[in-house]
Amino acid sequence: MTAAVLEVENLRMEFRAPRNAGGRRVQAVRDVSLEVQEGEILGLVGETGSGKTTVGKCVVRLLRPTAGSIRFMGEDITAMPSSQLRPLRSRIQMVFQDPYSSLDPRMTVSQIVAEPLRAHGTHSRREAAGLVRRTVERVGLSQQVLDRYPNELSGGQRQRVGLARALVLEPRLLIADEPVSALDVSVRAGILNLLVDLQRTMGFSCLFITHDLSVAEFLCDRVAVMYLGEIVEVGTRDEVFGAARHPYTRSLLGAAPLADPVEQRSRQRAILPGEPPSAIDPPPGCSLNPRCPLADRRCTEEAPGPTQVSEGGHVVRCHRVQEQLDLEVARS
Amino acid sequence: MAELLSVQDLQVRLFDRLGVVVAVRDVSLSVEEGEVVALVGESGCGKSVTALALLRLLPPDAQISGRVTFQGRDLLQLPLKELRAIRGRDIAMVFQEPMTSLNPSFTIGNQIGEVLRLHKGLRGQQARERASELLSLVRIGSPEQRLRAYPHQLSGGMRQRAMIAMALACDPKLLILDEPTTALDVTTQAQILDIVRDLRQRLGMSILLITHDLGVVADLADRVAVMYAGSKVEDAEVHRLFAAPRHPYTAGLLRALPRRGRRAGDAQERLLEIPGLVPVLRDLPDACAFAPRCPRSQDDCSNQHPGLAPCEADHRVACLHPEPIVAGAHP
Amino acid sequence: MTIATLPGAEPTIALTQPSRQGWWRRFRRRPPAVIGLAGVVIVVLVALLAPLLAHYSPTVSQFGQVLRAPLSPGHILGTDELGRDELSRLIYGSQSTLEVGVLATLLAMVVAIPIGIASGYYRGPIDMVAMRITDVVLAFPFLLIAVGLAAIFGPSLQNIIVALGVAQLPGSIRIARAEAMALREQDFVQAAIVTGVRDRVILFRHLFPNMLSPLLVQASVSIPAAILGSALLSYLGLGVQPPTPSWGNMLASAQTYLYNDPWIAIFPGIAIFLTTLSFNLLGDGLRDLFDPSMR
């Protein structure tokens, strides 16, 4: 087994709720453990409010987690003081969702891409200029853009600039937070292809946060599905998309419309009723129990622990799946 | 089936700081009774402007020309007073962002009641009953209670349902859905699509669906019109369009889409990229607007604007060199 | 399923806008802004060239020429109650008026920007302290500050500048703070943090330049507000001391003659009005100009 670049254990992140909610705490991330292996793309999939972005922000330490630990290449960065963290930052980079707010409107493309180099002072001015040029080329932009301002670029071009900034220091880990969600289909394809190519040539590991299942399936080696601050299912791409066990994952897969009228109209849809409950007051027991068709009494009382579905690391948190598996084992 | 809405040569010119934008260029469209027509395209293709133009909801300085015939009357020529009577009663519209389309300082019940009073003259108890009936129609639980809620007390999905309920208040003949599920999560989206599908069957209204999401189109539409750079480039029955698109842009879109079962690891799978950028909708030359990005373009593409022409039964395409017909791909 | 990339899908992508327009060309498209700029330039020129423009001394009285009506020979705008040429007094009055407006605003900005940035970016205790201070300042009417300063140090130009500057502090701090808070949440600032850019650099390179346009707009409102404030203080006798003319003290001394000889009040009034209007128009134009989304 290859080494883990990122290990997150029992991560918990709470925010103070808005004043009108009576000073209670929003439990954005309740208990998340995950690993990103060397050279792997791990998809973190979930709907709005599932806490997936918060996990990403904790990993890059834009947020300081309430509890749990984050280890990057073996080093615990959970509460590392910023002076100590700074050199490590060059190895963990992030790409953002919004191609418009993620670039400083008053800086040219070359200044933007050079910023990480300047921050870490690792290169001479000339080396830096060359590196910036090469990186910009690498993300599929022409040299002409170097002196442009972001507002002169299209959304897809801006997102490429964002990628160039993240990759100019050749990081080991890239956190990509919905990097293609704001883009049109034809532009999105280019960015996804580029990500695949860059990941293969540069070999970085990637935590890819998305709500789009088809994007996750296209890109990711392994996928973790989040619901209400917890990972409910994790496994390889084949396991999650081909043999999902958790009722929530199954519902998600059934809910995403397929761009094919024949398939879309003929398939079985078993979509969860209702909407996710508030993260201020998550339900006791399994967080899905109020919406789950399989839920029984145990689900309302006791939070399910991780259940190993396959040797490869397909893990599900669901009492009913566990019972099924136990039954299968007993039968054989 | 009878034609309910017919749009002929709709052209919309908008004005901004830099001058004129030809947002919609000679678009013709027809919606028959009970039919769901999807208007598809990427951002800036003019699909939403088209929808707004139908009801004359664009800024007053917009220049709209062409004809929009609804039940025998030209909506573009109608006095505003008569148009207002049609808006909301015969043609209702649901927008993308349910938060901004609802007035934050009135309850849902107030806002539905307003529509009922305006168009149907219902008041008091009658209006309340009808309103709660409408909420049940869009599967909002305990409707009486929800009627007393303010928009901010509802989730995005609930607000969108309330919007649909409000749109249904007067049994419209045509429902225009402008990106109705774009702001929503997949589960909520699936719930809303379910409701729309069900409503359509029960109420038999026509729907004009504006969306960029080909999955939503595949789910709901009977017929699809694809727009690019303000023009309609292709128009076909939904199965035919997905199985055998003729316009290179449509074909490109379908191949650019990451779909279930497509995996980057498998056999060097790549998504198709459409190179270049969407043209700026100013001073468009008399040429195919897609030609600079088109893999099939030839010399003649850049000196004439291809009109929409039938290529097969119920299938029209605006392209001089359309994609070849895929044998056996028709349903 | 194998799909090839379309031929011609080369990585080089065309640019949306081939050329950037010059500032002046963009600015010129907004007539109100141009009018505002012209007004400001005129006032500044008048102030600078006062000795050349004025035919009479603003302070020397001609007792034979008291309260001449406008358009009388030699005095286009007439004379005041001491026989001083109204036009010359207006011209010289622009000096102190502008000085107060600009310096008070500058003082407020120089103090407010660092406080606002620090409090908006770091939040926490720094923010608490800064906000309480602004609350306290806000709770004092600026007139009281001015009167207090005048009482302690005597009425002088410097003191009204300080008083007006302090009066503007809370507004400027709040704007700088609000901008800093909004910018801090912008992805590009978050990106800089993630990249490991030092706070100092983030504040100077990302926050400050992106705050300029709202601050400029604030300044364009502050300068005329300070001009009005100084007029008020002069009117109350706390500002520029006679015989040195300021538009405010001209108004003050005119009030006795308002009924019979209204022009000596009307002209400084118009001067104040046009100057503040010009600054406001210019500010609006600059805001558009500096807004990157309008570039």
Here the tokens at position C141 are 């009417």
Distance (Å, whole) CA B186 – CA B47: 22
Which residue among B158, B216, B239 sits closest to A257, beta carbon to beta carbon?
B216
User: Could you tell me the pLDDT band of residue B170, with boundaries at 50, 70 and 90?
Assistant: confident
What's the gap between Cα C10 and its chain centre?
51
Which residue among C2, C6, C13 sits closest to B295, beta carbon to beta carbon?
C6
DSSP helix/strand/coil, C246: coil
CA dihedral defined by C122, C125, C131, C136, rounded to 10 degrees? -150
Question: Longest C-alpha distance within chain A, in Å?
Answer: 69
C291 has a chain A CB within 8 A of its CB: no
For the segment A116-139, what is each residue's pLDDT rounded down to a tens digit?
999 998 889 999 999 999 999 999
Q: What residue has token string 């630990």?
A: A69
CA distance B278 to chain C (A): 9
- Which residue from C minimizes the CA distance to A175? C194
In chain C, which residues have their Cβ closer than 8 Å to the Cβ of A137?
Answer: 11
B154 contacts B104 by C-beta, under 8 angstroms: no
Which residue among B252, B268, B277 sits closest to C13, beta carbon to beta carbon?
B277
In chain B, which residues have their Cβ closer than 8 Å to the Cβ of C29?
Answer: 17
CA distance A266 to chain B (A): 10
Which residue among A255, A259, A264 sits closest to B186, beta carbon to beta carbon?
A255
Backbone angles phi, psi at B178, to 5 degrees: -100, 105
Strands (E), chain A: 4-16, 25-37, 41-46, 67-72, 75-76, 92-95, 173-177, 205-210, 222-227, 230-236, 307-308, 315-316
Here the tokens at position A300 are 């309302």
For the segment B32-80, what is each residue's pLDDT rounded down to a tens digit?
999 999 999 998 899 999 999 999 989 888 999 999 999 989 999 999 9
Q: Quote the pLDDT of residue A232.
A: 96
CA distance B295 to chain C (A): 6
C205 has a chain A CB within 8 A of its CB: yes
Cα atoms found within 13 Å of the Cα of residue C152, Cβ hemisphere only: 10
Is the CB of A212 less than 8 angstroms away from the CB of B258?
A: yes
> What does the domain layout of chain C look like in residue ranges?
72-294
Q: Is beta strand A205-210 parallel, antiparallel or unpaired with respect to A173-177?
A: parallel
Substitution target from A64, A146, A151 for chain C, most C beta carbons within 10 A? A151
Substitution target from C16, C188, C193 for chain A, most A beta carbons within 10 A? C188
pLDDT of C51 over the 90 cut: no
Q: Quote the pLDDT of residue C22.
A: 66
A212 has a chain B CB within 8 A of its CB: yes
CA distance C280 to chain A (A): 25
Substitution target from A83, A104, A107, A139 for chain C, most C beta carbons within 10 A? A104
Per cent of chain A over pLDDT 90 is 76
Here the tokens at position B12 are 């919309």
Is the CB of B252 less than 8 angstroms away from the CB of C8?
A: no
User: Other C-beta atoms within 10 Å of A315: how many?
Assistant: 21
pLDDT of C13 over the 50 cut: no
- Residues spanned by the domain of A69: 4-91+171-248
Q: What residue has token string 């509890």?
A: A67
Q: Is beta strand A230-236 parallel, antiparallel or unpaired with respect to A315-316?
A: antiparallel
Q: What residue has token string 């650099």?
A: C201
- Which residue from A minimizes the CA distance to C17? A152
Which residue among C5, C12, C15 sits closest to A148, beta carbon to beta carbon?
C15
Single-letter amino acid code for the residue at B61: D
The residues, ordered by sequence, that sit 6+ positions from B165 with a Cβ below 8 Å of its Cβ are B112, B131, B134, B135, B137, B138, B140
CATH fold, domain C72-294, is MetI-like fold (1.10.3720)
Residue count (chain A): 332
Q: What residue has token string 């259940």?
A: A307
Is the CB of A255 less than 8 angstroms away from the CB of B213?
A: no
Work out whether the CA dihedral A145, A148, A149, A154 comes out positive or negative.
negative
For the segment B82-125, what is each residue's pLDDT rounded down to a tens digit?
999 898 889 999 988 766 778 888 999 999 998 888 888 888 88
Is the CB of C191 less than 8 angstroms away from the CB of A94?
A: yes
For the segment A255-284, what is each residue's pLDDT rounded down to a tens digit?
999 999 999 999 877 789 888 888 888 899
Counted domains in chain A: 1
- For residue B15, the 8-state DSSP code is E
Beta sheet of B19-32, edge-to-edge order: B19-32, B3-16, B63-70, B73-74
List the subunits that have 3+ CB pairs under 8 angstroms with C. A, B
Per cent of chain C over pLDDT 70 is 90
User: Other C-beta atoms within 10 Å of B197: how many?
Assistant: 15
**How many beta-carbon pairs under 8 angstroms link A with C?**
97
Substitution target from A106, A149, A174 for chain C, most C beta carbons within 10 A? A106
Give A94's strand partners: A175
In chain B, which residues have their Cβ closer than 8 Å to the Cβ of C6?
Answer: 252, 272-275, 295
Distance (Å, whole) CA A36 – CA B129: 55
Distance (Å, whole) CA A211 – CA A179: 11
- Our separate counts of H helices and E strands in chain C read 12, 0
Please report whether residue A275 resides in a domain. Answer: no
- For residue A264, the 8-state DSSP code is H
Which residue among B193, B263, B273 sits closest to A257, beta carbon to beta carbon?
B193
User: Could you tell me the pLDDT band of residue C21, with boundaries at 50, 70 and 90?
Assistant: low
Which residue among B275, B277, B280 sits closest to C9, beta carbon to beta carbon?
B275
**DSSP characters for B259-277?**
-TT--TTGGG--PPP--S-
CATH number at residue A223: 3.40.50.300
CA dihedral defined by C159, C161, C166, C171, rounded to 10 degrees? 160
Distance (Å, whole) CA C262 – CA A139: 72
In chain A, which residues have their Cβ closer than 8 Å to the Cβ of B217?
Answer: 259, 261
A209 contacts A56 by C-beta, under 8 angstroms: yes
CA distance A13 to chain C (A): 18
Is the CB of A264 less than 8 angstroms away from the CB of B215?
A: yes
Cα angle: B156, vertex B160, B161; to 5 degrees = 115
Distance (Å, whole) CA A129 – CA A140: 17
Distance (Å, whole) CA C245 – CA C88: 9
Distance (Å, whole) CA A271 – CA B188: 9
List the subunits that have 3+ CB pairs under 8 angstroms with B. A, C
What's the whole-number average pLDDT of chain B?
88
Distance (Å, whole) CA B323 – CA B296: 8
Which residue among C15, C20, C187 sits closest to A98, beta carbon to beta carbon?
C187
- Which residue from C minimizes the CA distance to A187? C13
Mean pLDDT on B155-168: 89
> What does the domain layout of chain B look like in residue ranges?
1-90+173-258+272-289, 97-169
The residues, ordered by sequence, that sit 6+ positions from B105 with a Cβ below 8 Å of its Cβ are B150
Mean pLDDT on A64-79: 94
Q: What residue has token string 């598996």?
A: A325
Q: Closest Cα to residue A45, out of A234, A285, A173, A321?
A: A234
Q: Closest Cα to residue B42, out of B284, B293, B286, B302?
A: B293
- Hey, which residues 15-54 in chain C have their CB within 8 Å of chain A? 15-17, 20
Is the CB of C195 less than 8 angstroms away from the CB of A148?
A: no
B166 contacts B197 by C-beta, under 8 angstroms: no
Which residue among B185, B188, B270 sits closest to A193, beta carbon to beta carbon?
B270
Please report whether residue A48 resides in a domain. Answer: yes
Rounded to a whole number of angstroms, the distance between the first and last alpha carbons of chain B is 22
CATH fold, domain B1-90+173-258+272-289, is Rossmann fold (3.40.50)
B99 has a chain A CB within 8 A of its CB: no
Q: What is the ipTM of this complex?
A: 0.89
Here the tokens at position B165 are 């309920």
A261 has a chain B CB within 8 A of its CB: yes
What's the whole-number average pLDDT of chain A?
91
What's the whole-number average pLDDT of chain C?
82
Q: What residue has token string 């003081």?
A: A81
Distance (Å, whole) CA C263 – CA C267: 6
Please report whether residue A9 resides in a domain. Answer: yes
Distance (Å, whole) CA A294 – CA B239: 35
For the segment C124-180, what is each residue's pLDDT rounded down to a tens digit?
888 999 899 888 888 887 778 777 877 787 778 888 888 889 888 888 999 999 999
Element (H or E) spanning B4, and its range? strand B3-16
C243 prior amide bond cis, ω within 30: yes
Mean pLDDT on B238-266: 87
In chain B, which residues have their Cβ closer than 8 Å to the Cβ of C7?
Answer: 295
CA distance A272 to chain C (A): 32
- For residue B191, the 8-state DSSP code is H
Backbone angles phi, psi at B206, to 5 degrees: -90, 150
Mean pLDDT on C191-202: 91
A39 has a chain B CB within 8 A of its CB: no
More confident residue, C122 or C16: C122
C135 contacts C177 by C-beta, under 8 angstroms: no
Mean pLDDT on A240-244: 92
Distance (Å, whole) CA C204 – CA A136: 25
Please report whether residue A233 resides in a domain. Answer: yes
In chain A, which residues have their Cβ closer than 8 Å to the Cβ of B278?
Answer: 184
Is the CB of C3 less than 8 angstroms away from the CB of B276?
A: no
The residues, ordered by sequence, that sit 6+ positions from A216 with a Cβ below 8 Å of its Cβ are A43, A45, A208, A210, A223
